[in-house]
Amino acid sequence: MDRRGFLASGAALALSPRFSFSRENPARLRLATSRQSLVGAAHPATQVWAYNGAVPGPVLRYRQGERLRIEVENALDADTTVHWHGVRLPNAMDGVPHLTQAPIAAKGGRFTYEFDLPDAGTFWYHPHLGSPEQVGRGLYGALIVEERAPPQVDRDLVWVLADWRLDREARLVEGFGNAMDASHAGRIGNTVTVNGAIRESFTVRAGERIRLRLINASNARIYAPTFEGHEPRIIALDGHPLVAHRDASLVLGPGMRADLLLDCAAQPGSTHRVIDGFYRQRAYELMKLQYASEKPLRQAFAPVPRLPPNPVPEPELSSAQRHRIVFGGGMMGALPAQSRQRGLFWTVNGAAVPEHEHQHSPILNLRRGQSYVLELVNETAWHHPIHLHGHAFRLGAAGAWADSVLLDPKSRAEVAFVADNPGDWMLHCHVLEHQATGMMAVVRVA
Ligand code: C2O
Ligand code: CU
């Protein structure tokens, strides 16, 4: 990839104000076009779509148990909705057009979202209408819910990872959702930004402990970040606490999040690369960790803190009902008649459903309060991050809690959960070009 070609020369990005936070959340999110310098001053700014004028939109910070109330005002030329990814909220607040609400109309439509935040963790918000284009143009932001007693760290940071397809003038390449992208791996770009700009370096201090919240807001790109000379521990996945452990193999599909505990144990003045190596042969440097020259803040680190579990009901495996859901299609995959002509390339249990058809009939009817094990089968030759709305599930029988699972090509996974949240919920691939061309379904809990 030719991302290096866009790097602004030299300018080390120190602790930019975007990395700091206040808990004064905006009462309003306004969608409009904006211009932003994604690739540095040597190139023109890029025309983007933004919440409150910036990409990513504002970091919303609440404390667990608080209530979010935000009025959305849509000044774009396109209808939209806001989905609060990963939050176990009432169905009517889920932001799925035609299923849970009417679209928020172009040129002035408004809608107020209001709901409680039961779980602490790293979540995010984005449109659920025309997603390949709307997310691809910059509509997303972090939603952070702090624990009632957060673990002691020196800094709590959010990195929103986004992927852009830009031309030489740093303009977005059009053709969102084209058939070529949609029938293959999705729209993978040529420029990766962290919090809305490419970063040359990120300054840390020796001895500091950082909680780093990674959010993959990209349409289709998968990340496998490693920190040279460091062993960050994954302490949460998709917002939910994990038993702290070292893990070299963090893989973040679109929509997924990970909270890392990064102990900065290297020497003052030293430099370390952060490498994203998910695509073999196409590893690149995301940025450098640049240690300031100050003497270390501390010599030894406290043990890794344990985050308190979220109040997610535990599935009862002995009585769980099982269902099998098969994801199919793609280039060379089998498809129902006429699908390709209709621009549909993917299926869930044999059916290809266009993005937000007015009538979705559920592929599963789940009984409220009942435990379920879903066997998710990927029959295709492609990766699919499968995301369920309104719930968290265990990966495997007793694995980590999450709201997404990345299915490798020709693989399967099981997830277990209690269907405790009534309503119609999306189950879909978070490669947005796949979602928009058939790989989405509805699960009804009643
Ligand atoms: Cu972030 Cu339906 O997804
Ligand atoms: Cu997919």
pLDDT digits (tens, 9 = 90+) for 139-191: 999 999 999 999 999 999 999 999 999 999 999 999 999 999 999 999 999 99
Residues of the chain above pLDDT 70, percent: 93
- Which of 30, 77, 23 has its CA nearest to residue 52? 30
* CB-based pocket (< 6 A), ligand 1: 83, 85, 126, 128, 255, 387, 389, 426, 428, 430
Alpha-carbon dihedral 205, 207, 212, 218, rounded to 10 degrees: 50
State the distance from the centre of ligand 1 to the C-alpha of 350, rounded, in angstroms.
21
Q: What is the pLDDT of residue 38?
A: 97
Distance in Å from the first CA to the final CA of the chain: 47
Q: How much is the pTM?
A: 0.94
Kindly state the average pLDDT of the residues 269-274.
98
Q: What is the pLDDT of residue 131?
A: 97
Confidence of residue 4 (pLDDT cuts 50, 70, 90): very low
Least confident range from 60-64, 109-113, 257-261, 339-343: namely 339-343
Summarize pLDDT for 12-58 with one digit per residue, the tens. 333 333 334 566 899 999 999 999 999 998 999 999 999 999 999 99
Kindly state the average pLDDT of the residues 321-349.
88
| Ligand 1 atom having least distance to the Cα of 85 | 1
Hey, what amino acid is at 179? A
Q: What is the pLDDT of residue 24?
A: 82
Per-residue pLDDT at 137 exceeds 70 = yes
Which residue puts its alpha carbon closest to atom 1 of ligand 1?
85
Round the average pLDDT of the chain to a whole number and report it.
Answer: 92
Confidence of residue 339 (pLDDT cuts 50, 70, 90): confident
Which residue puts its alpha carbon closest to atom 3 of ligand 1?
85
CA angle 367/114/311 to nearest 5° reads 50
Per-residue pLDDT at 361 exceeds 90 = no
Q: What is the pLDDT of residue 356?
A: 66
| Ligand 1 atom having least distance to the Cα of 389 | 2
| Ligand 1 atom having least distance to the Cα of 126 | 1
Confidence of residue 398 (pLDDT cuts 50, 70, 90): confident
Extract the tokens encoding 105: 């109309």
Considering every ligand atom, which ligand is closest to the CA of 437? Answer: 2
Confidence of residue 354 (pLDDT cuts 50, 70, 90): confident
Kindly state the average pLDDT of the residues 419-433.
98
| Helix and strand counts by DSSP (H, E) for the chain | 3, 31
State the distance from the centre of ligand 1 to the C-alpha of 403, rounded, in angstroms.
10
Per-residue pLDDT at 437 exceeds 80 = yes
Confidence of residue 73 (pLDDT cuts 50, 70, 90): very high
- Which of 111, 93, 112 has its CA nearest to residue 103? 111
Q: What is the pLDDT of residue 315?
A: 97
Is omega for the bond preceding 385 within 30 degrees of 0, making it cis?
Answer: no
State the distance from the centre of ligand 2 to the C-alpha of 345, rounded, in angstroms.
10
| Ligand 1 atom having least distance to the Cα of 86 | 1
Beta strands in 58-128 (DSSP E): 60-63, 67-74, 83-85, 109-116, 121-126
Q: What residues form DSSP beta bridges with 379? A: none
Q: What is the pLDDT of residue 17?
A: 37
Considering every ligand atom, which ligand is closest to the CA of 387? Answer: 1
Extract the tokens encoding 133: 């284009």
Q: What is the pLDDT of residue 219?
A: 98
At 375, is the secondary structure helix, strand, or coil?
A: strand
Kindly state the average pLDDT of the residues 196-208.
96
- Which of 257, 60, 273 has its CA nearest to residue 161? 257
Hey, what amino acid is at 37? S
Confidence of residue 330 (pLDDT cuts 50, 70, 90): confident
State the distance from the centre of ligand 2 to the C-alpha of 384, rounded, in angstroms.
4
Per-residue pLDDT at 243 exceeds 80 = no
State the distance from the centre of ligand 2 to the C-alpha of 71, rounded, in angstroms.
31
State the distance from the centre of ligand 2 to the C-alpha of 435, rounded, in angstroms.
7
| Ligand 1 atom having least distance to the Cα of 255 | 1
State the distance from the centre of ligand 2 to the C-alpha of 412, rounded, in angstroms.
13
Q: What is the pLDDT of residue 7?
A: 36
Considering every ligand atom, which ligand is closest to the CA of 384? Answer: 2
